[in-house]
Structure 1
């Protein structure tokens, strides 16, 4: 997939088809993991399931179109995936990031409420802290916002039309902002659960994710303003289906029935 940095040179589309196919296969093995690992997170499980078809479609488009956004998409996935799996695969890096986010989330919470303590990646807050009961929340790798940060890294770094200075400046703005917004999300979830306002499922999987989605959409709008080249790539991606080939024609016949 990283061959997307080199455009549509000879044999590279075929190489990327293999990459997309392997990536889609990997996602197909992660649906149950995402659902159970994050406490019955239906949202992530559904996104993962839909992603299998999206990734397979990108593999198909590698062979049926010469649009510039297609190799860019491969570079996006390759860049974000390489960094993510490197961090996730090295225990000391993964655990260090989790502990840092746990500490910072608890410190931010303590600014507004003193009923808080943390140990390793566990947080006690509200009534759980007061009563000395079980931990309110456990911070895991997915709670570090690493996916959101790497999403923007992947989207922006492969933009060869944009000078490297502008790409790095935008990322140097986005990453700290995303990190801080994630601390707010973590602290909010802990507060809602710690004071029994709602349960973890609602607080984390719905309220927290809705807040994250709104924040990401806002940041995307900011990026579009200062890096309009990204907007062009996104529009190109959304219009890929308009270049009709076998799959598009079959789907059109199906939906016309």
Structure 2
């Protein structure tokens, strides 16, 4: 059921993105896509609560709310009599970036052959790097690595495919020369992949050698690795935006859209009291 919702969301977003800008109906189609997309994210907290990843619980809820804010904004743009629409067209740019990123990510998430392929590739790369570093790890299965009697399973979330898809969507969505887009791609996707391999190695080593005591995996994976990944993605995003300044308008526009919506909602609630 949830898989169908994802494809429905992407279909509406793509359809709304390819329709000529002068046809306002495209904004309504995109808004519908964002609503379906929010359903996907609001479905995720249960999974992350099961594995004790409270950071991602809050993150997916926040993403779901942002999806609804964008859907609300695009609905207002559709109902507006202004045929030209806002400039720059932040909501349309965000929709294109999301649709393209989703088209890249969802096949890996939902097609078993691609899912197994990407996980096995990352597992092999992690195992190779640990061997190169002289760490006596053992591959106990196609997606499991053990160290010092402690075993870690590599899953899709350990492949950084979400972050890679995000940057692919963002880079492909901007109107910029192909050379600059290629430079931005090389400065982000390969870098993210390599940094993620290092991250996985750190988690396995910290857990295998119990660096942080009985809670080594939780501390290494849910805290230290999360903070490190956030800093790394911020640095990569900074470099990409230096190469593609057009992305600055998109990110700043989304931020202003969200903060503006929150401020209006706050004043409305306070004013009714």
TM-score (structure 2 length as normaliser): 0.83
2:246 matched to which residue of 1?
229
Hey, what's the Cα distance between the residues in 1 that align with 2:34 and 2:258? 17
> What is the aligned length?
245
1:251 matched to which residue of 2?
266
Change (3 A) 1:228 1:29: same
Q: Which runs of 5+ in 1 are unaligned?
A: 129-134
1:191 matched to which residue of 2?
205
Among 255, 264, 270, the residue aligned to 1:238: 255
1:94 and 2:106 matched: no
Where 2:57 maps in the other structure, the secondary structure is helix
Q: Which runs of 5+ in 2 are unaligned?
A: 1-12, 78-84
Hey, what's the Cα distance between the residues in 2 that align with 1:114 and 1:193? 13
Hey, what's the Cα distance between the residues in 1 that align with 2:59 and 2:18? 26
1:203 and 2:220 matched: yes
**Conserved in 2, the CA contact under 8 Å of 1:99 and 1:120?**
yes
Equivalent positions of 1:1-257 (< 5 A) are 1-2=13-14, 3-4=16-17, 8-10=21-23, 11-36=25-50, 39-65=51-77, 66-67=85-86, 68-118=89-139, 119-125=141-147, 127-128=148-149, 135-160=150-175, 162-198=176-212, 199-241=216-258, 249-254=264-269
Hey, what's the Cα distance between the residues in 1 that align with 2:43 and 2:114? 24
- RMSD of the TM alignment (CA)? 2.0
Q: Which protein, 1 or 2, shows the higher relative CO under an 8 Å CA cutoff with sep ≥ 6?
A: 1
**Conserved in 1, the CA contact under 8 Å of 2:119 and 2:156?**
yes
**Conserved in 2, the CA contact under 8 Å of 1:4 and 1:73?**
no
TM-score (structure 1 length as normaliser): 0.88
